[in-house]
Structure 1
C-alpha cells in the first residue's frame, strides 16, 4: 500500500514538474551549482593531495632536512652556525637509523656551450645525494669518489639543461663552461619534473662539492648549505631525528637547555603541513558550496509554496474524493525531493566533468570518490525533504471546503 502511495505521488510529481519545465529547471539550478561545487572540490582536493604526496615521495626516501637556524642580532637574522662536512661524517658514522646522509650547496650561475648561454642552478654535492634524492642516470654515469677527492671538473646535467643547451643532442662527453671553468658532462639525469615546492628538478647541474667550492662558489672549512638524510624506514624517522639532534648538539657543544642551532624538518612533517593546508582550503570551498546548497533549498521551498498556492483547488478536489492529509503531504514532499534529486544528479555529472577537465589541465589524476558522490546525492535529497516539508505541510493542512472555493 505504501509503495503504491509513493508511486502515485512520484507520478503526480513528474506530471506537475513537466507542466512547468522552465520553473522546475530554474528551481534545481541552485542545487545543481551547490552539488557540482562539492563534487569538484572533493575530487580536486583528493587529486591534489595525491599529487603532492607523490611528489614528496619522489623527492626523497623518508627524507630529513637539516639546516642552520638563523639567530637574531640587532633585529636582523644571521646564520653564525655552520653545517660542515664533518657533521655529515659524524651522522653517517653514528646515526644508526639513517639509510643515507649527504650534503649540498647550491647557487645560480651562468653556463655556456658554443653560442648557447643560460642561467641555471648549480649544485655541489656528494654521491649519496643521488640515492637519497632518487635521481637516476639516463645516459652516461655519475662521477667517482676519486673525482670528489681530486675536485675534478666533471658534472651531470638535468633534462631541462640538456634541452636548452643541446636541443636534443646527446650531452654526454661534451664540455661546457660554468663561470670561468670548463666542465665535462659525465651523465644525463632521468627526468623528474617539478618538485612539491614548484621548482624544476631537471633544471640543474650537479658536480662534486669540492669542485663546486673551488670554482663556482668559493668557501672554506667544509661548509654546506643543507644536510639531507634518509631514515631507514618510515617507522624509524622519529628515532633518526632524535639521533641527529643528539649528535649535532654534541658536535656544536650546546649546553643542556640551550636552543638547537639547527633546524630539522622531516618528509612526514611536510606531508602533514600540506594536508592541513589542503583541509583548510577544502573546508572554505565546501563552506561556499554549502551556502549554495542552502540557497538552492530556499529556492525549492519558495517554488513549492508558489506551487501549493496555484494548485489549491486541485488539493481541495483530491481531499473531497478521499485523499488524506498524509497523501497530500507525501505528494508535495516527493515533488520537492524529486526536484532536489534531479539537481543533485545533474550537479554530480557537471561536477565530475569539471573535475576531470581541471585535472587534465593541471595534469592531476582525478578519481571519482564514490562516498563523496553518495553523500552529495543524499544531501540533495535531504535538502528536498527539509525545505519541502513546510510547503507540503501547508498543503496537507488545507481545509477542503476553503480550497474548493478558491478560483
Structure 2
C-alpha cells in the first residue's frame, strides 16, 4: 500500500466518525488559535511601539532621575537624587553642551480635573514652550503657552483631544475654564491628536499641559520641590543637533550632571537614554510577555495532543478485527503504522488550520476595538503549522505503533 492509498483509507476512517473527529480537534483548535491570537497581539504591540518611538524623532534623548539597572530600566526613584530645574538649565549651556539643540524639562503628576460639570483623573504636565519643538507636537487649536506665560506663572492650560472630549464633549474648550486640583485655569489651546497609548502609560491625548513654573509654584507646591526647596523635574527631554551627534550629546549630558551631583566613583543617580535605548527596552519587554503568554497557550496544544492519543487508542481497540483482517490479507506492519499515523497527523493539522483561522478572527475582533492593531506574521503561521504536525506525530506514534504491533491471529480473535 502506497502513501496515497494510506491517506485515502485514513481520511475515510476519520470521515466515518465526524463528531468524534471534530471533538478531538477542539483542543488543537483552541491551542493554535490562542497562540496565533496572542502572537498577533504581541506583534501588533511591538509594531505600535516602534512606530511611536520612531515618530518622536531619531535625535531625542531622555534624562530621568534614578540609576539605571543593567537592563536599562531605571531604578526606584525613592532612593535616587532628584533632577532639578537647575540641572536642566545647566544642560542648556551651549559652551559645555554643544551637541544639544533644545531642552524641555517637565514635571508630571496625576490630578483631578473638572470642567463643564464633568471631572476626570488626568496626567498634568508642567512644561516649557520648547516642549513643542523637542517632542514635535504642537497645538491643533488655539495656542501653546509662551515665555510670558512661563515667566508670570500664568494659570493657562493646553489640553489633549481625549481630555477635551471627556470634559467638554463636542463643544470648543478654548477660552473655557477648568479646575486642576481646585485651582482654576483658562484653556488656551487643544493639542493636535496623537492617537495610541503613551509609552509611559495612558493615552497620549488624555493629558493637560501647563507652564512648568505654574505647576511647580502654584499647583503642586512642595511635591514639586526637593528636600532643599529646589524646583524638581520628572524628565528632561533633549534633542541633539543631529542623529550623528547623539553619542556626543549623551556624553556631555552625563559629564555635566556628574559634576553637578558631585559623582566621582559612585554610580550615576540619573539615567540618560536615547530613542533607540527606549525602543530596545520596550521591545524586549513586549517580546518576553508575548512569548510567556504564547507558552501558556501552547499548553492547550499539549492537552489537544493527549486527546488525539486517547481517541486513537480507542480507535485501535474498536478496529482490532479490521487490523487483523488487513494483516491476514497481506498488509504490512508499516502500512498499518502509516495509516494510523496519518490519521493522527490529519486530525492535528486540520485542527491547526482551523485554529489559525480562529486566531486570525480573534485578532480582527481586537482590531475593531481600536485599542491595538494586531499583526499576524507569516512566522507565527508557520510556527503554528509546525507545532500541529509535531503534536500529531508525537502523540500519534504510540497508538500507531500499538496497532502495527498487533498479531493477526490475536486481532481476529478479538470480540
TM bracket, shorter-chain basis: 0.7 to 0.9
Distance 1:117 1:399 in 2: 80
Query: In the alignment, which of 208, 222, 225 is matched to residue 211 of structure 2?
Result: 208
Q: Please give the residue correspondences for 1:209-358 in structure 2 after superposition, counting only pairs within 5 Å.
A: 209-213=212-216, 215-217=218-220, 223-231=232-240, 236-252=245-261, 254-358=262-366
**Gap runs ≥5 in structure 2:** 68-76
CA RMSD of aligned residues (A): 3.4
CA distance in 2, matches of 1:217, 1:401: 90
Q: Residues 104-143 of structure 1 correspond to what in structure 2 (within 5 A)?
A: 104-107=106-109, 120-143=122-145
Does structure 1 conserve the Cα–Cα contact (< 8 Å) formed by 2:153 and 2:218? no
Q: Deviations over 1:45-77 (max 9, x none)?
A: 11122233444445676543324449xxxxx95
Q: 1:401 to 1:242 in 2, by over 3 A?
A: same
Distance 1:305 1:243, change over 3 A: same
CA distance in 1 between counterparts of 2:273 and 2:328 reads 76
Structure 1 contact 85–103 (Cα < 8 Å) conserved: no
Match of residue 50, structure 1, among 30, 33, 47: 47
> Tell me, what secondary structure is at the counterpart of 1:365?
coil
- 1:171 and 2:173 aligned: yes
Report the structure number with the largest CA radius of gyration. 1
Equivalent position of 1:73 in the other structure: none
Paired residue secondary structure (2:347): helix
Which position in structure 1 is the counterpart of 2:72? Answer: none
In the superposition, the TM-score normalised over structure 1's length comes to 0.83
1:381 Cα shift? 1.6
- Segment of structure 1 superposing worse, 323-332 or 183-192: 183-192
> Post-superposition shift, 1:337?
1.3
Indicate the residue corresponding to 2:193 in structure 1: 191
| Alignment match of 2:384 (pick from 362, 373, 376) | 376
* CA distance 1:354–1:211, shift in 2 (3 Å): closer
Could you say which residue in structure 1 is the equivalent of 2:89?
88
1:13 aligned to 2:13? no
CA contact (8 A) 1:68 1:83 kept: no
Deviation at 1:185, TM superposition (A): 4.1
Distance 1:106 1:302, change over 3 A: closer
Conserved 8 A contact 2:49-2:283: no
The answer (yes or no) to whether the contact 2:91–2:253 under 8 Å persists in 1 is no
> In terms of mean alpha carbon deviation, does 202-211 or 342-351 score higher?
202-211
Structure 1 position 110, deviation (Å): 6.9
| Structure-2 separation of matches of 1:32 and 1:275 | 29
Following TM superposition, by how much is the alpha carbon of 1:87 offset from its aligned partner in structure 2, in angstroms?
A: 3.4
Report the Cα offset of residue 343 of structure 1: 1.3
TM-score of the superposed pair, with normalisation by structure 2 = 0.81
Q: Is residue 110–residue 118 contact of structure 1 (8 Å, CA) maintained in 2?
A: yes
Superposed CA offset, 1:307-334 (max 9, x none): 2222222222222333222222222221
Task: Please name the residue that 2:71 is paired with.
Answer: none
Q: Any idea what SS the aligned residue of 2:62 has?
A: strand
- Checking the alignment, whether the CA contact within 8 Å between 1:44 and 1:359 is kept in structure 2 is no
- Secondary structure at 2:2 match in 1: helix
Query: In structure 2, how many angstroms separate the alpha carbons of the residues matched to 1:182 and 1:237?
Result: 41
Q: Does 1:38 align with 2:35?
A: yes
Contact kept in structure 1, 2:345 and 2:393, CA below 8 Å: yes
1:157 matched residue in structure 2: 159
- Residues matched between the structures, number: 398
Unaligned runs of 5+ in 1: 71-75
